[in-house]
Amino acid sequence: DAGVTQSPTHLIKTRGQHVTLRCSPISGHKSVSWYQQVLGQGPQFIFQYYEKEERGRGNFPDRFSARQFPNYSSELNVNALLLGDSALYLCASSTGSGEAFFGQGTRLTVV
Amino acid sequence: SQQGEEDPQALSIQEGENATMNCSYKTSINNLQWYRQNSGRGFVHLILIRSNEREKHSGRLRVTLDTSKKSSSLLITASRAADTASYFCATDGRNYGQNFVFGPGTRLSVLP
């Protein structure tokens, strides 16, 4: 059974561009959460989606948006990229409560 | 502000020794989970302990939870070089949301 898959694994973007990150949850999991991890820190919560509805939003600007599709996969979009958006973006999959399993992340570098 | 805070921030031990990491949090929780992150990438789920549990074991891992002190500890026994990683605790809120709050982590180095 496949784990949580994220794509791409690495990405380099220029300031001002936008980026779309993708996540496929574990089969049967209906909840997807997104986290940003800056080097040397713990992950920071961005969004949670459950059954295609937003269940939670962290303290991130409106440049960050996300959505969940009928197959429970999810996209995280970031517009008008800033240098400070450079980070590891992690996706977590769960049934909605209890154990959450993370993907390997997408390393975003903004230059 | 982050709710979970791991202590110590860094820990260096010899292979075979035990490693203990602590986590403190601020608000009521449903569950507390421990994760390991290798080489700044992969996040591996280690163990979940529910708010009504006090202790849980999984292999060489032992987790305790004290809700009155809002703290948890992770004990790794008979450590191995492969245990070298950063360890994070994550708490979720009473509303069963998956908006985990992570601390800055404990960086464990196990020397051969």
Which of A106, A46, B20 is CA-nearest to residue B6?
Answer: B20
Neighbouring-strand partners of residue A85: none
Confidence of residue B92 (pLDDT cuts 50, 70, 90): confident
pLDDT for B25-75, tens place per residue? 888 888 899 999 987 677 899 999 999 999 999 999 999 999 999 999 999
Rounded to a whole number, what is the distance in angstroms from the first to the last CA of chain B? 37
Q: Which residues contact A38 (CB under 8 A, 6 or more apart)?
A: A44, A86, A87, A88
Q: What's phi and psi for A56, nearest 5 deg?
A: -165, 150
In contact, B47 and B64? CB cutoff 8 Å: no
What is the residue type of A71?
N
* Shortest Cα distance, chain A CAs vs residue B6, angstroms: 10
Distance (Å, whole) CA B26 – CA A74: 31
Interface residues on A facing B, Cβ-Cβ cutoff 8 A: 31, 33, 35, 39-45, 48, 50, 55-56, 58, 88, 90, 92, 94, 96-105, 107
Cβ–Cβ pairs < 8 A, chains A and B: 73
Proportion of chain A in helix, strand, coil states, percent, rounded to 5:
5, 50, 45
> A12-71: per-residue pLDDT in tens?
999 999 999 999 999 999 999 999 999 888 999 999 999 999 988 999 999 999 999 999
Neighbours of A77 (CB within 10 A): 13
**Residue A88, both tokens:** 């590891």
Q: Do B41 and A56 touch (CB under 8 A)?
A: no
Q: Is the pLDDT of residue B86 over 90?
A: yes
Q: Given an 8 Å threshold on Cβ–Cβ distance, is B48 in contact with A99? A: yes
Of B40, B88, B97, the CB nearest to A55: B97
Residues 6+ apart with CB under 8 A from A30: A50, A51, A72, A95, A96
Q: Tell me the C-alpha distance between A53 and B87, whole Å.
A: 31
